[in-house]
Homo-oligomer: A and B are copies of this chain.
Amino acid sequence: MNLLLKLKDNPLTPPQILAAGFFAIISLGTILLKLPISTNAPLSWLDAAFTATSAVTVTGLIVVDTGTAFTLFGQTVLMILIQIGGLGFLTFAVMSIIFLGKKIRLKNRLLMQEALNQNTMGGIVRLIRVLFYFAISMELIAALILSFRWVPEYGLGFGLFTSLFHAVSAFNNAGFSLWADSLSQYIGDPIVNIVITLLFVSGGIGFTVIYELMARKKFRALTLHTKVMLVGTLIINVVAVVLFFILEVNNPNTLGNLSIGEQLWGSYFQGLTPRTAGFNSLDYSQMNDGTLLFTILLMFIGAGSASTASGIKVTTFIIIVLAVTAYLRGHSEVFAFRSRIETDVILRSLSIIVVGLFFVFFSIFLLTITEDLPTLQVVFEGFSAFGTVGLSTGITDQLSSLGRPIIMLLMFIGRVGPLTIAFSIARKTPPRISYPKGEIFTG
């Protein structure tokens, strides 16, 4: 923490560089998307900025239809913005260690270095190379497989482009699609379902997890972080898929009138996508309110640290559940997989959730004043933006010119991270002298 205080003397902290970088790319993207060559009909500056923000923050909320509003050039710009936003963020943490040296918080650096087991400059450069190879090869292989599905259907030109676009969009958890109804046409298609979910899950689980798995360690030898991510992701996904099926199987506007195969694929896809992928193969405007509430929780949780996904993160959620369970069972320490979770980590998790909820609820509160839309849909939209998920009940293009910047800001905060924003706002004060314990009742 003392290191963090020293950073105040330096011109830019890593989080500020990250925020400035996002801002610069969004600005450039806005200008490019505003060019007449990018669109089939003139686009307002606000809508260009909204689309660029949505792409760079890998959200996927849209105010114009990606497939019809943009030209091939515009769509290529979008794809590149998504790649820079997703992959750029992923590499940023590792890059900052190289370029900023001691400037990064010692604690985080050690954590990351331990997980990735890289202590030398050369090792870190190799690591970034691995990261890039992994991302690009995942995207290219996936695009190749998808092209077997889409080239016969759409011809060579659009077939190849749409395969690459959706592969890039999926790996970066961006949720942009060239079809107005996202992947709804392919609800029962095994290839599309498996390839797209494999992409967004491996992009979203976190690079340190992937890196450890590539080292083919045994489960017991994995770090606590990787164990929690693997088991947590599995449990949350299974619960989400089963619950989605139960809640929607009798809804004639979603699963109700489909074949059993489509019902199962639909539940599988909609169970996995809220944790920040953002594609959909069913229409969220037709879902039950209970499903929307449950999806809001999933969107808030999000996926893994150091990944192309956002949200508070699976580990943060599980740490709070473990802390509360331990308290209720009368344990004074919190354990997971034979490892102790320190109080500092619990307080950090609590802070992420509280600060995140504050940003989301404050934005939603403002939106209830500026917008004349059903509140549940506004709440859904707010959580979707914060988690950079991109799912919507369809109100995004109805947002007013006041509502759009609020959602843009929320996507930005969600991607940079609520705690990063809060740290840069909070006035650092030197720790006070210690005071005696005070008595206070709660609950």
Complex contact A206–B441 (CB within 8 A): yes
Cβ of A324 under 8 Å from chain B: yes
Complex contact B436–A339 (CB within 8 A): yes
- Quick one: given A289-B368, A330-B1, A354-B324, are A223 and B346 in contact (CB under 8 Å)? no
Give the distance to chain B from A113, nearest Cβ to Cβ, in Å: 10
How many subunits of this chain does the assembly comprise?
Answer: 2
Question: Interface SS of chain A: helix, strand, loop or mixed?
Answer: helix
Complex contact A434–B293 (CB within 8 A): no
Cβ of A347 under 8 Å from chain B: yes
Nearest chain B residue, comparing its CB with the CB of A321: B354
Complex contact A343–B341 (CB within 8 A): no
- Segment at the B interface, from A142-150, A233-241, A311-319: A311-319
Complex contact A331–B288 (CB within 8 A): no
Complex contact B349–A442 (CB within 8 A): yes
Cβ of A102 under 8 Å from chain B: no
Cβ of A328 under 8 Å from chain B: yes
Complex contact A438–B223 (CB within 8 A): yes
Give the distance to chain B from A186, nearest Cβ to Cβ, in Å: 29
Nearest chain B residue, comparing its CB with the CB of A328: B426
Q: What 1/0 flags go to A291-315 for Cβ under 8 Å of B?
A: 0111001000000011000001101
Q: What 1/0 flags go to A222-233 for Cβ under 8 Å of B?
A: 011100100000
Q: What 1/0 flags go to A340-369 for Cβ under 8 Å of B?
A: 111111111111101100000100110011
Q: Which of A4, A313, A432 has the most chain B CB atoms closer than 10 A to its own CB?
A: A432
In the complex, chain B residues whose CB is within 8 Å of the CB of A305:
441-443
Cβ of A45 under 8 Å from chain B: no
Cβ of A338 under 8 Å from chain B: yes
Cβ of A208 under 8 Å from chain B: yes
Nearest chain B residue, comparing its CB with the CB of A314: B442
Give the distance to chain B from A294, nearest Cβ to Cβ, in Å: 7
Give the distance to chain B from A199, nearest Cβ to Cβ, in Å: 22
Give the distance to chain B from A224, nearest Cβ to Cβ, in Å: 3
Cβ of A94 under 8 Å from chain B: no
Cβ of A429 under 8 Å from chain B: yes
Complex contact A434–B340 (CB within 8 A): yes
Binding site for B on A (CB under 8 A): 1, 4-5, 111, 114-115, 206, 208, 223-225, 228, 247, 288-290, 292-294, 297, 305-306, 312-313, 315-316, 319-321, 323-325, 327-333, 335-352, 354-355, 361, 364-365, 368-369, 375-376, 417-419, 422-423, 426-429, 431-432, 434-443
